[in-house]
């Protein structure tokens, strides 16, 4: 697709000055600590797919459309649920009164160009708390006809939202006839992600083929539990860092996925921050495998 006017997608030129395979991150001179190349990680497509399917904050911008949100409309353009179809389209559930719903309903086919921005914020308090952002640009159309049932089922599977998926009429339907909720389809043409792993462009076909990380639905709760109830065990992981381990540093669990745990270490004599990745012996497939992997990790740190 041609890049939409008004919101150029961020550059995805990865910068790296090292080919080392250790899981430590660069220093914080540029803000968010970044990993060095060569560590085990999710692909760019998997990271974007995970963000789309997650509960991370999302905004929807119509390219060239004037923001008409008055006080009474504030927030009505924010999708309350989203998912990805087998073809790689993103399905959004928005208020029928939103600017996006009205623009898509009155447009001709692919006339409405839009950008979804997803912001991933760490569920625990750490320096540089925004873990990443993803941008998906494409063409926005209403979900119509026979596609509605299938798309509603996909949304319900990923994000159960009760009566919202009834897609009934709004309270003022006798006067406007507008649905309370509308499903919109974003046919994705361009994707950029900039997160803890670096910046990448993602092919829309790769997004369709990728699977969301199985740990993602449990990540926030698990990280908060580790931080509040097992801070001593997280601190023991410092012993696995070798020369990088420094006494007096604060260790906070920052991110968790199927391939490992990322911990942010702050303080010490220099007062700087760095991340360390602790890879699992093999990628986990479910919460049971994750528990086994975490027990093995803490066991290694205690010896």
**Predicted confidence (pLDDT) at residue 252 exceeds the cutoff of 90:** yes
Query: Would you state the pLDDT for residue 9?
Result: 53
Q: 178-197 pLDDT, tens per residue?
A: 668 899 999 999 999 999 98
Of 228, 226, 231, 235, residue with least CA distance to 291: 226
**Predicted confidence (pLDDT) at residue 278 exceeds the cutoff of 80:** yes
Question: Taking the model in full, what pTM does it have?
Answer: 0.80
Q: What is the DSSP letter of 29?
A: T
Q: 14-51 pLDDT, tens per residue?
A: 333 333 323 333 333 445 555 444 567 899 999 999 99
Higher per-residue pLDDT: 197 or 8: 197
Query: Would you state the pLDDT for residue 41?
Result: 84
Query: Would you state the pLDDT for residue 127?
Result: 83
Could you tell me the pLDDT band of residue 73, with boundaries at 50, 70 and 90?
very low
**Pairwise CA distance, residues 27 & 273, whole Å:** 6
Q: 121-180 pLDDT, tens per residue?
A: 999 998 889 999 999 999 999 998 899 999 999 988 887 665 455 554 444 444 455 668
Nearest 5 degrees, angle CA 166-CA 172-CA 177? 70
**Predicted confidence (pLDDT) at residue 207 exceeds the cutoff of 90:** yes
**Predicted confidence (pLDDT) at residue 74 exceeds the cutoff of 70:** no
Query: Would you state the pLDDT for residue 289?
Result: 96
**Pairwise CA distance, residues 149 & 132, whole Å:** 33
Mean pLDDT of all residues in 57-69: 73
**In 3-state terms, what secondary structure has residue 181?**
strand
Query: Would you state the pLDDT for residue 34?
Result: 52
Q: What is the DSSP letter of 10?
A: P
Query: Would you state the pLDDT for residue 211?
Result: 94
**Predicted confidence (pLDDT) at residue 95 exceeds the cutoff of 70:** yes
| DSSP sequence for 188-252 | EEEEEEEETTEEEEE-HHHHHH----TTHHHHHHHHHHHHHH-HHHHHHGGGGGGGG--TTEEEE
Query: Would you state the pLDDT for residue 76?
Result: 40
Mean pLDDT of all residues in 226-255: 84
Q: What are the E-state strand segments in the chain?
A: 57-62, 81-84, 90-95, 112-121, 130-142, 181-195, 198-202, 249-257, 260-267, 273-279
Query: Would you state the pLDDT for residue 96?
Result: 87
**Pairwise CA distance, residues 194 & 48, whole Å:** 10
**In 3-state terms, what secondary structure has residue 151?**
helix
Query: Would you state the pLDDT for residue 28?
Result: 39
Q: Are 96 and 167 in contact (CB under 8 A)?
A: no
**Predicted confidence (pLDDT) at residue 92 exceeds the cutoff of 80:** yes
Query: Would you state the pLDDT for residue 180?
Result: 81
């Amino acid at each position: 697709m041609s890049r939409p006017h008004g919101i150029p997608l961020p550059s995805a030129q990865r910068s790296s000055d090292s080919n080392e395979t250790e899981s430590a991150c660069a220093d914080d001179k540029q803000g968010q600590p970044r990993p060095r190349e060569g560590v085990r990680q999710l692909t760019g497509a998997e990271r974007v797919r995970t963000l789309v399917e997650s509960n991370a904050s999302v905004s929807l911008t119509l390219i060239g459309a004037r923001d008409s949100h008055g006080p009474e409309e504030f927030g009505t353009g924010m999708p309350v649920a989203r998912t990805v179809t087998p073809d790689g389209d993103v399905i959004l559930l928005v208020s029928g009164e939103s600017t996006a719903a009205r623009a898509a309903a009155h447009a001709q086919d692919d006339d409405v160009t839009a950008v979804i921005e997803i912001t991933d914020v760490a569920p625990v308090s750490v320096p540089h708390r925004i873990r990443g952002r993803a941008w998906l640009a494409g063409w926005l159309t209403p979900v119509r006809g026979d596609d509605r049932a299938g798309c509603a089922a996909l949304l319900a599977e990923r994000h159960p939202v009760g009566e919202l998926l009834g897609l009934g009429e709004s309270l003022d339907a006798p006067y406007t006839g507008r649905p309370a909720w509308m499903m919109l389809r974003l046919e994705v043409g361009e994707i950029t992600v900039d997160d803890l792993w670096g910046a990448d462009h993602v092919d829309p076909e790769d997004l369709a083929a990728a699977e969301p990380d199985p740990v993602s639905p449990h990540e926030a709760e698990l990280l908060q539990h580790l931080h509040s109830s097992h801070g001593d065990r997280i601190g023991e992981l410092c012993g696995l860092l070798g020369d990088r381990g420094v006494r007096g540093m604060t260790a906070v669990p920052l991110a968790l996925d199927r391939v490992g745990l990322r911990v942010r270490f702050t303080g010490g004599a220099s007062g700087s921050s760095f991340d360390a990745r602790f890879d699992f012996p093999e990628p986990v497939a479910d919460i049971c495998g994750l528990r086994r992997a975490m027990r093995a990790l803490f066991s290694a740190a205690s010896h």
